Structure 1
Amino acid sequence: MSLIEGILQTSSTMTLLGAVLFLLVLYLRSSGSSAEEQGKEPPGPRPLPLLGNMLQLDLNRPYRTLCELANKYGSIFTVHFGPKKVVVLAGYKTVKQALVNQAEDFGDRDITPVFYDINQGHGILFANGDSWKEMRRFALTNLRDFGMGNKGSEDKILEEIPYLIEVFEKHDGMADRANETIHLTGSASIQMYNMFPWLGPWIKNLTRLKKNVADMKMEVTELVRGLKETLNPQMCRGFVDSFLVRKQTLEESGNMDSLYHDNNLVFSVANLFGAGTDTTGTTLRWGLLLMAKYRHIQDRVQEEISRVIGSRQPLVEDRKNLPYTVAVIHETQRLANIAPMAIPHTTSRDVTFQGYFIKKGTSVIPLLTSVLQDDSEWESPHTFNPSHFLDEQGRFIKRDAFMAFSAGRRVCLGESLARMELFLFFTSLLQRFSFSPPPGVTEDDLDLTPSVGFTLNPSPHQLCAVSRV
């Protein structure tokens, strides 16, 4: 290489380096001046350009890192997931103030790239604006009309209980399950995709996830097609029928731009089915694992069930006479903490919150872990203690910091149904079976570390279900 070529090459390298440094300084100065002009932003660890705070985050279990940062920076702080700025809310009082007292400000959904890929802005869980409002209102109204939370849904659940018991009996007392889609959406590689969507073609988990979603969409579409062929507008059999009748009525009136279209129907059904089955199933798995680990608590639950109910089928009305059992179910939900970061929200307008400025469109994580394990609200937040929900006389008490279903505008719309399902399934299983570790495994060996996923499932394990009848 000639001297001139060397000088030119060095000059080009220095020019490129200088440009990068200039952009870095410009980025830091512009972000700082923006904060000064608009108001004080929540504190947080200083981000690296492009990477943000990624090197400080445990991408498999980010909620743990966020809890640690809350201890350092307080109940409201900023963290950068790659280049994306996120405000985290920690602790019962702060989360309640945002989601309940300022529900309009914090009520929109932050739709990350993976959930936009899956839902395309349709349905209920990952939608905003008029479409979300209408789909949620319609779903809530129809679920109530079809018996959610009352005698109608109780009868349906009671029909399913013998089939669940049969599954346990056929498997000779062993139970072991996993949900691939939920696992994939919470994996580190999908978190990376949410930060850097251009990585998509190289992420295998994304390909698997999209295939699962495509299969799900095809199955729901086939279900809808079958119901459409036998539709009787005078006799709606369920949510899909009601949606199809509303869609038909609007089309006949000439409203062809209605929100009642096939995509909203398919994704609303998928959202309701996915959210309803995964959360309830996951909580039951935690409940049985905890019963096997803490046999003295299981014994006390079974004594109460035997004394109050005997051998007949448990009913919803029995809840008022089974305070310890109900407390155990609530404590399972609290400690299991299956949705540690909820589903992220976003601000609908510029917000001043606890003296900090948060810009419109900022992603917000209500850190439900920090609510369910808030040491100012719970006597022993990190241990399984049903007494959290009992008074001195052993009566069940409600706790305001019990936000297992989130709160505010985005609170779980199936909460009353989920509570009913958990009670009836849990009491029916504990009435019929005693749960214990398999031979060669002790209670101490049962691991309560959750597996990686969008919701927190128990790590893979086996239990023995021994018949009590």
Structure 2
Amino acid sequence: MDFLTTTTFLLITCVIFLIFNLTYTRKSQKKGRLPPGPIPLPMVGNILQLNFAEVFKSLQQLSEKYGPVYTLHMGMEPVVVLCSCDAVKEALVDNAEDFGARGHMSCGDSWLSKDAGVVGSNGERWKQMRRFSLMTLRNFGMGKRSIESRIQEEAQFLTEEFKKTKCHPVDPTFFFSKAVSNVICSVVFGKRFEYDNKEFLRLLGFLHEIFKGFSSCWGQMYNMFPKVVGKLPGPHNTLFKAIDDLQKIIGEKVKKHKETLNPSSPRDFIDCFLIKMEQEKGIPQSEFNMEGIVNTTFDLFGAGTETVSTTLRYGLLILLKHPDVEEHMHKEIDHAIGRNRAPCIEDRSHMPYTDAVIHEIQRFIDLIPLGIPHKVTRDVHFREFVIPKGTTVYPMLSAVLRDPKQFKHPEQFNPGHFLDGNGKFSRNDGYMPFSAGKRICLGEGLAKMELFLFLTTILQNFSLRSPVDPEELDLTPLLSGFGNFPRPYKMCFIPR
């Protein structure tokens, strides 16, 4: 009797799930002619088709079966995946307005600033936050000689720190985090920190925990099943605590700024935001409020620190693996700059090989493989499909950066991808590490300047050595989810 009861219950459950799935699929089809994709299971969607340790590889494999534009169900939610350079460009560039909204990521509800900052917001709020942020950053030197001088100064501080290691093997992770973060800190907080400052180290520790957790298996699982995974113990809870703690610290800094604010002489981004808040305090539902200032500052500090520092850390690991590339860069640096002055951004136009190496590092490491999700702002006719308004879209930057139509050897590190037959720098349409269209990273110019100045300053002063045989170095990511993170390694900085 117990066996029959259990069997009957399971059969009824399966029938209910099948009916639910058929009903749900028909409703989705009525909303639009979504691209084809794997058949979702009831409630859990296409979970079985994904490897949470390397989500983007799973998505790439699905594109081989269903084409460069297909539909995947993240739990109950259908999302459209764009998995080629042509498809991503057609959406984000040619149809920028239609694909210009920010899509939903459960794990990013806190990190993407709860629709209150510049990264995760939409509509008029996003327009105002982005316009204000760009204008303020430019006023404080972004893209100008003043910020270049700030980066050059920080590069010298970093050089001195490496000299203190006295050729001993060190993990460069927090060396780069400190240097890169100090550049954005000088703009956002109005000051740089000493490398041993305890508050600074806390900030960087929280930030590192956030990006690492967001790319972990737990982070990816929470993205798909927030209601279930959110109630379970696990590393994802550490991620959310780190977000809360970092935002609390920023909130405290905002309060201190408010107490010493001089409206006629703003010191940094926070001061400018506070002045704007005062100007609009009589406007109902103004976008310039306490939530906005904390979350926008969080966005700028986070994006301005972790992305560039991780790229530098991964880049030096690649150079350890390819000493011939490092040697070529040394020769170009000695010829174009010499040893008696600091590198400047004008040198880049005379250093095609170094420029190509930096571009290839960004392409090869594929820092944000999935891209940050977008959302269509209306019912969109895209190719032969109809994507309903509000549908989340994943523009897979990994598919662009490794598109065989754009790069001859997409799986190999090869600076030749950005050089022509005469050794001159050559642009490539597949270079899209900062995304594209209306949502392109607003810090792109600053990031490019930092990568060039930090890397050339390091190689001007040091030769890089690995304490292990370069053949033993593994360039595959340690974590591969939202971001690709390099495996831990140590290196020696040998003065030249």
* TM-score > 0.5, shorter chain as reference: yes
Alpha-carbon distance in 1 for matches of 2:473, 2:11:
56
- What letter corresponds to residue 96 of structure 2 in structure 1? A
Which residue of the partner structure matches residue 270 of structure 1? 298
Contact kept in structure 2, 1:89 and 1:366, CA below 8 Å: yes
1:353 alignment partner in structure 2: 382
Q: Give the TM-score of the pair, scaled to structure 2.
A: 0.88
Q: Where does residue 175 of structure 1 map in the other structure?
A: 171
Q: Is structure 2 residue 139 aligned with structure 1 residue 145?
A: yes
Cα displacement (A) at 1:39: 4.6
- Counterpart CA distance in 2 for 1:463 and 1:18 is 60
Question: Is the alpha carbon distance of 1:380 and 1:18 closer, same or farther for their aligned partners in structure 2, counting shifts above 3 Å?
Answer: closer
Counterpart position of 2:17: 24
**CA offset at residue 129 of structure 1?**
2.1
TM superposition shift of 1:449: 0.8
1:93 Cα deviation after fit: 0.7
Matched, 1:459 2:487: yes
Matched, 1:159 2:186: no
Count of matched residue pairs? 457
**Alpha-carbon deviation of 1:31?**
4.1
Match of 1:202, SS? coil
Secondary structure of 2:438's partner?
A: helix
RMSD across aligned C-alpha pairs, in angstroms? Answer: 1.9
> How much does 1:19 deviate?
4.2
How far apart are residue 278 of structure 1 and its match?
0.7
Q: Take 1:11 and 1:155, find their aligned partners in 2: how far apart are those partners?
A: 76
| Counterpart-to-counterpart distance in 2, 1:455 and 1:38 | 32
Equivalent residue in structure 2 for 1:432, among 461, 472, 486 = 461
Find the residue that maps to 2:485 and give its secondary structure. Answer: coil
Which amino acid in 2 is paired with 1:81?
A: M
Q: Distance in 2 between matches of 1:39 and 1:428?
A: 54
Following the alignment from structure 1 to structure 2, what is the Cα–Cα distance between the partners of residues 32 and 244?
48
Give the Cα separation in 2 of the matches to 1:375 and 1:130.
Answer: 38
Which structure is larger by alpha-carbon Rg, 1 or 2?
1
Moved more, 140-149 or 115-124: 115-124
CA contact (8 A) 2:104 2:392 kept: no
Report the equivalent of 2:309: 281
Q: 1:34 to 1:214 in 2, by over 3 A?
A: closer
Cα pair distance change 1:172/1:204, threshold 3 Å: farther
- Contact 1:189 1:203 (8 Å CA) reproduced: no
Matched residues in 2 for 1:283 and 1:328: separation?
A: 12
Q: Is 1:336 aligned to residue 368 of structure 2?
A: no
Confirm or deny: 8 A CA contact 1:293 1:436 kept in the other structure: no
> Which one of the candidate residues 475, 480, 485 is aligned to 1:448?
475
Q: Deviations over 1:277-324 (max 9, x none)?
A: 111001111111111111111000000000111011000111111111
Structure 1 residues 61 and 316: CA distance shift in structure 2, 3 A: same
Rounded Cα–Cα distance in structure 2 between residues aligned with 1:324 and 1:12: 69
Q: Distance in 2 between matches of 1:11 and 1:320?
A: 77
Deviation at 1:13, TM superposition (A): 6.2
Q: Percent identity?
A: 42
What amino acid is the match of 2:139? Answer: D
Residue in structure 2 matching 1:296, options 302, 306, 324: 324
C-alpha distance in structure 2 between counterparts of 1:139 and 1:302, whole Å: 37
Offset of 1:84 from its aligned partner? Answer: 2.4
Partner of 1:113: helix, strand, or coil? coil
**How far apart are residue 220 of structure 1 and its match?**
1.0
- For the residues of structure 2 that align with 1:244 and 1:117, how far apart are their CA atoms? 22
Establish whether residue 47 from structure 1 lines up as the match of residue 15 from structure 2.
no
Contact 2:370 2:482 in 1 (8 A): no
- Corresponding residue of 1:86: 79
Matched, 1:71 2:64: yes
* 36 and 421 in structure 1: CA distance in 2 versus 1, 3 angstrom threshold: closer
CA distance in 1, matches of 2:65, 2:215: 25
- Distance in 2 (CA, whole Å) between partners of 1:271 and 1:167 is 28
**Which residue does the alignment assign to 1:248?**
278
Distance in 2 separating the partners of 1:54 and 1:208: 24
1:269 is displaced (CA, Å) by 0.7
Aligned-pair CA distance for 1:459: 0.7
Moved more, 96-105 or 187-196: 187-196
Q: Which residue of 2 aligns with 1:136?
A: 130
